Amino acid sequence: MKKLIPHQVGDTQRYALVSGTAILPDRLIQDSYVEWSGGMLTRVGAIPKRIAKNVQVIDASGCYVSPGWIDIHVHGGGGADFMDGQVQAIQTACKTHLRHGTTTIFPTTTTGSHESIIRMIDAVDATIRSADPGLPTIEGVHLYGPYFTPEKSGCHRKEACRAPVRSEFEQYFKSGPIRIATCAAELVGSADFYRYAHKRGCLVTCGHSNASWTEMDKAHRCGMSHVDHFWCAMSSVASVRSRLGTPMQGSMLEFVLAHNTMSTEVIADGYHLSPELLQFAWQMKKASTLCLVSDTSRALDMPPGKYAFGHPEENVWIESTGKVGLSPAGGLASSVVALDHCVRHMAKVTRIPLFDIVRMASLTPAQLTGIAKYRGSLEAGKRADVLVLDRKLQVQKVFYNGGLAGDLVGSNP
């Protein structure tokens, strides 16, 4: 039985998943009817009294019907890292995540050299242009490294961390489609970077940073509105005090919690954050401003062992236990699971409603990145990126719009 089912260009047949439990952003619909044609959803709701004879019915009894996952922070999978800078590597990583239900993906950079980042952006752009029907939608690049503060570099190469210089980051933006842009708020030149990225319509984020409340406030006024992987490689009151002394000042943590205009994300792999922190993040930020991300490395779906993080020539290595990635010093180093695992883990260890958990892996990242008009939820008029999940939330089928590079039947999501 096929698991990956791409919508065929020009297919006017009507299809419907019938009798499953549809997961909407705010509720579940038992005995649901989810219909599509031409790769677009045409009807979502209760089973109609009469189903037209020209509808091909697909039985979803005993299963959940969910929108496809959208991963905004992901480094690789299947033995490939996006920073390998080759179309084949991009394809391998993307196909690996597609099998786990990720139908829209934002390949994410590390703190590589200038040349390696350019190669990665070029390779992603070439992959998008290939319109490979076997791939999920690659919406654009998440320019994540290299603008980190060294003391919060995590498993990224500390020596490659640097302040943003306009002549450099303009090259990145001109090389290919950057849709998410990250920079530590305390770095010299960060304000210029934030304003530039914001004007280009990016989701502008702060990550791997030891910023104070004051620096976050300045960044926010320049267009920064998101913080990467909450509680990981980010400032706290104690770390800001170590940097700036007394009186103690607020950090990224307090700034995000205090402002409803700030969004953030969590890695729910079971190792980065405890159940109470996952529950607390949702309680404070709600599903409308909290995303699930995988932040996974090339070790996804690979046996335990040693793996390059980023391009192998950068000489950064992590150890995969098969459950999480570890740095040589023993600290956490990216995850080794995809978004489907994160959804299951959230459902298992928290009291968060399932529709909120799914929203954090679909509609919320779509809204934050400006693509929610056509993706992120089961709604007529949106793309039929649809998952069939069993009762344990394991992905059974993936219906997706492959190789469309952001365009569908003349639409421009």
- State the architecture of 4-67+376-400 in CATH terms: Roll (2.30)
87-99 vs 114-130: helix axis angle to the nearest 10?
60
pLDDT at residue 409 is higher than 90 = no
- Give which of 135, 79, 64 is closest to 102, Cα–Cα: 135
How many CB atoms are closer than 10 A to CB 328? 12
DSSP state, residue 246? S
- pLDDT band with cut points at 50, 70 and 90 for residue 292: very high
| CATH 2.30.40.10 residue ranges for the chain | 4-67+376-400
How many CB atoms are closer than 10 A to CB 151? 16
CA angle 103, 104, 107 (to 5 degrees): 125
Start-end of H helices in 182-336: 190-199, 213-221, 237-244, 252-258, 275-285
Over residues 199-228, the mean pLDDT reads: 98
pLDDT at residue 412 is higher than 70 = no
**Percentage of residues in the chain having pLDDT higher than 90:** 92
Residue 145, pLDDT score: 87
CA–CA gap between residue 64 and residue 255 (Å, rounded): 37
Q: 51-65, 128-142, 146-160, 245-259 — which is least confidently predicted?
A: 146-160
190-199 vs 166-175: helix axis angle to the nearest 10?
30
CA–CA gap between residue 349 and residue 123 (Å, rounded): 38
Over residues 89-104, the mean pLDDT reads: 98
Q: By the 8 A CB rule, do 68 and 42 touch?
A: no
Rounded to 5 degrees, φ, ψ at 254 are -65, -40
Q: By the 8 A CB rule, do 123 and 90 touch?
A: yes
pLDDT at residue 351 is higher than 90 = yes
Record the tokens describing residue 206, joined without a space: 């702060």
pLDDT at residue 281 is higher than 90 = yes
CA–CA gap between residue 399 and residue 245 (Å, rounded): 54
Rounded to 5 degrees, φ, ψ at 9 are -60, 130
- Terminal-to-terminal C-alpha distance of the chain: 31
Q: By the 8 A CB rule, do 369 and 106 touch?
A: yes
DSSP state, residue 160? G
Residue 157, pLDDT score: 86
CA–CA gap between residue 191 and residue 184 (Å, rounded): 10
CB neighbour list of residue 57: distance below 8 Å, 6 or more residues apart: 16, 18, 51
The alpha-carbon radius of gyration of the chain (Å, integer) is 21
The CATH number fitting domain 69-368, selected from 3.40.720.10, 3.30.930.10, 3.20.20.140, 3.20.20.70: 3.20.20.140
CA angle 74, 263, 202 (to 5 degrees): 65
CA–CA gap between residue 82 and residue 165 (Å, rounded): 23
Q: By the 8 A CB rule, do 82 and 143 touch?
A: no
CB neighbour list of residue 167: distance below 8 Å, 6 or more residues apart: none
Amino acid at 190: S
Residue 1, pLDDT score: 65
| CATH 3.20.20.140 residue ranges for the chain | 69-368
